[in-house]
């Protein structure tokens, strides 16, 4: 179960290191429980590229070092933008197997040290370098192709995509940790700077610093811990080809379909049982495809249902009540852990002004690369 969580502010955080951000998030998580840091058995760190962003390889030992936990095993997990989700998944498996009793799963990234062009180049390394990057394709270009394919096949237009950004910016107004707490109109989103046709500036998530952490302990020992009690109902992972040209369909991700189906089967649940979602909206089209591929809406209807308000906080199925990557921010390694933190907040009744009513199950979808890695978690409100 998730017994505690921590989360730094997301944004351009200036002269601070990822290690310092991890320490801040971890201390907050520990303060929610009756644990002291010496009780942590193992650490799983989700982080994309400390070598490029901070000129630091071998980043994992820096975490126990800064936490004063010498000799505590610490492992870095890298799966592009799904690094954080996988750090949680591996923490869960370590506890569920009985190998560890207390695990810290944490994610972080310090991205604003570099100019935007350098950051874009670093992120492009998560795509297929041989066939895509060498041809000049960056992630905005890759997701632009997906947006065009979805538009051609299903009629998903710029207004529908913009409605994702408008919704998530509105949600972020109530998240004091979000990078962008400002309202957005459909018109402004649609008429903003073109990044990769048809995706404009407001179709894209930002460059962000930040960290998020969760403490994972055995559910059967919940009486021994203070803090929250959020049960891990299921988790799953799926992989696909690195290159888009090897896939049969660009209007969705088979990885999302497979991972979501596995998560539902393991939890003995169906999409109708889930009360809210945190999905990977690195680009607005990614959220639209996610809610379709996970089985919550008919394929091709994701854009329209978003425009109609069904995925708003007061809608039929709230999606990204935190503000999502689009407005909350996207510090790569921290993103998947941040999704888990938001779900844990909602299920424990700690989401303050953005608290959803009467929620029992929340689900996350964390995406790496061009959908080459997908991680899903389903969490349940504890007793």
Q: Sign of the C-alpha dihedral, residues 311, 312, 317, 319?
A: positive
| Rounded-to-integer distance, Cα 179 and Cα 12, Å | 8
| Rounded-to-integer distance, Cα 207 and Cα 119, Å | 8
| Rounded-to-integer distance, Cα 300 and Cα 284, Å | 14
Give 305's contacts (C-beta < 8 A, 6+ positions apart).
Answer: 291, 297, 311, 316
From the list 81, 126, 282, 376, the catalytic residue is 81
Structure tokens at 314: 């007061």
Give the angle 73-36-66 at the CA atoms, nearest 5°.
50
| Rounded-to-integer distance, Cα 112 and Cα 116, Å | 8
| Rounded-to-integer distance, Cα 302 and Cα 151, Å | 11
- Beta bridge pairs of residue 276: 362
| Rounded-to-integer distance, Cα 232 and Cα 263, Å | 11
Question: Catalytic: 100?
Answer: no
| Rounded-to-integer distance, Cα 347 and Cα 162, Å | 29
Give 67's contacts (C-beta < 8 A, 6+ positions apart).
Answer: 22, 23, 26, 37, 40
From the list 90, 100, 280, 330, the catalytic residue is 330
Question: Catalytic: 204?
Answer: no
Strands in the chain per DSSP E = 2-7, 42-46, 74-77, 103-110, 194-196, 199-200, 209-216, 230-239, 276-279, 361-368, 373-381
Q: In a 3-state reduction of DSSP, which class is residue 76?
A: strand
**How crowded is the C-beta side of 143, counted as CA atoms within 13 Å?**
28
- Picking from 109, 35, 322, 59, the residue whose alpha carbon sits closest to that of residue 27 is 35
CB burial of residue 7 (10 Å; 0-12, 13-18, 19+): buried
The residues carrying an active-site annotation are 81, 330
């Amino acid at each position: 179960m998730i017994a505690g969580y921590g989360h730094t502010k997301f944004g351009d955080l200036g002269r601070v290191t990822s290690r310092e951000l991890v320490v801040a998030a971890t201390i907050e998580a520990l303060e929610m429980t009756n644990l002291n840091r010496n009780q942590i058995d193992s650490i799983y760190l989700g982080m994309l590229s400390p070598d490029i962003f901070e000129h630091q390889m071998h980043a994992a030992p820096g975490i126990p070092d800064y936490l004063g936990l010498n000799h505590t095993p610490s492992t870095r997990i890298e799966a592009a933008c799904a690094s954080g989700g996988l750090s949680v998944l591996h923490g869960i498996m370590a506890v569920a197997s009985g190998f560890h009793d207390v695990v810290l799963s944490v994610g972080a990234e310090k991205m604003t040290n570099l100019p935007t062009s350098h950051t874009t180049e670093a992120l492009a390394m998560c795509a297929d370098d041989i066939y895509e990057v060498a041809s000049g394709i960056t992630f905005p270009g890759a997701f632009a192709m997906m947006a065009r394919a979805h538009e051609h096949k299903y009629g998903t237009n710029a207004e529908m995509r913009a409605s994702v950004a408008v919704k998530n910016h509105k949600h972020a107004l109530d998240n004091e940790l979000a990078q962008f707490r400002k309202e957005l109109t459909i018109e402004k989103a649609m008429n903003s700077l073109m990044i990769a046709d048809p995706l404009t500036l407001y179709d894209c998530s930002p460059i962000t610093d930040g960290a998020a952490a969760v403490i994972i302990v055995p559910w059967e020992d919940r009486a021994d811990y203070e803090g929250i009690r959020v049960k891990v109902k299921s988790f799953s992972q799926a992989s696909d080809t690195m290159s888009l040209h090897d896939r049969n369909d660009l209007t969705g991700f088979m990885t999302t379909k497979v991972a979501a189906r596995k998560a539902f089967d393991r939890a003995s649940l169906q999409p109708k049982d889930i009360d809210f979602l945190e999905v990977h909206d690195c680009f607005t089209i990614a959220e639209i495809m996610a809610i379709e591929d996970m089985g919550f809406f008919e394929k091709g209807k994701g854009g329209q249902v978003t425009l109609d308000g069904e995925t708003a906080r007061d809608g039929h199925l709230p999606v990204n009540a935190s503000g999502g990557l689009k407005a909350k921010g996207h510090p790569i390694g921290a993103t998947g852990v941040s999704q888990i933190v938001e779900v844990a907040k909602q299920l424990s009744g700690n989401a303050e002004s953005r608290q959803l009513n009467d929620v029992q199950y929340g689900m996350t979808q964390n995406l790496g690369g061009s959908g080459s890695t997908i991680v899903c978690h389903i969490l349940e409100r504890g007793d």
